[in-house]
Structure 1
């Protein structure tokens, strides 16, 4: 997987969170950990790492209101969501298991 720049990670995060914030960002994924990392090492590289972690969590847990089902539907219908997934998580397998 190619290295993702801060600008791309920030844009991707902003796009996903506009669709809906990730589920349980204060429990399942403690974004306070990201804040601590950013305060300790306030660099674009650290910000990119934090953004990427949150993006992966968004795909893993779904959105606050739509859950994992919303993410599944968006992966099928929204080309930008699919591109973000492939950029941060990995390639999707489009083959059917029939």
Structure 2
């Protein structure tokens, strides 16, 4: 349930010129750093507070922050100011407003 929407979401987020790098960096940084340290942080919270449910606070906080960022900054896919700024940084403002051409076979 998580991986299919994530792939589609990240693909829409980056322009074709930097898509592979953008996907790789964002996915692996999020999965490796945020997800990789989750057991350690949850165990540390549980050990420091003595409450068995304290470890749930970190995953809930990460999910809440991710949801807010997704809803606020990325609500319209490619048609938003963050994605437009990436296109403009690449020197391709003409492609910022137009959809990608259909792939040729």
- TM-score norm. by structure 2 comes to 0.30
TM-score by length of 1: 0.31
Task: Please identify the structure whose Cα radius of gyration is greater.
Answer: 2
Q: Which structure features the higher share of helix residues?
A: 2
Relative CO higher for 1 or 2, CA cutoff 8 Å, sep ≥ 6? 1
